[in-house]
Amino acid sequence: MISEFGEELGNSRFKIVKALSNAFQERGMMPCLTGDIGLKIKIPDLTVKCHFCEDYVDPKMIIEAMNPEDVNERIFFCNACEVIYNNRMRLKKET
Ligand SMILES: [Zn+2]
């Protein structure tokens, strides 16, 4: 998890985290997530709460993406809930 970004970085912080996460996963390591409001991690097993189904899942199954309700926020959801996210994004674009 990466947190405490300077405010001047704005949304480029998401690109930094994505680049690090890709590099980590290529090496078989844990993915990297933005330490934003809305990220809930259970200690000690480090599972991450899905925004939609509210289950705590392996961080490797978590997708981080833009919140359809607020482009400056991130949401975290499991890959099983990706369909829900895609539907929300589609509805958002139509309105
Ligand atoms: Zn879910």
What does the pLDDT read at residue 45? 94
What does the pLDDT read at residue 78? 97
Looking at the chain, how many residues does it have?
95
1 in a structural domain: no
3-45 per-position pLDDT tens digit = 888 888 888 888 999 999 999 989 999 889 988 888 999 999 9
Ligand 1 center to 5 CA (angstroms): 27
2 in a structural domain: no
Ligand 1 center to 54 CA (angstroms): 6
79 in a structural domain: yes
Residues of the chain with pLDDT > 70, as a percent, come to 100
pTM of the full structure: 0.86
What does the pLDDT read at residue 13? 87
Ligand 1 center to 13 CA (angstroms): 24
Residue by residue, DSSP assigns 20-81 as: HHHHHHHTTPPP--B--TT--B-TTT--EE-TTT--EE-GGGEEEEEETTEEEEEEEEEGGG
Domain count, the chain: 1
Range of the domain at 48: 7-94
For residue 14, give every residue at least 6 positions away whose Cβ sits within 8 Å of its Cβ, in sequence order, or none.
34, 64, 66, 74
Residue 82 has pLDDT above 90, yes or no: yes
Ligand 1 center to 6 CA (angstroms): 30
Closest CA to 82 of 55, 57, 52, 58: 52
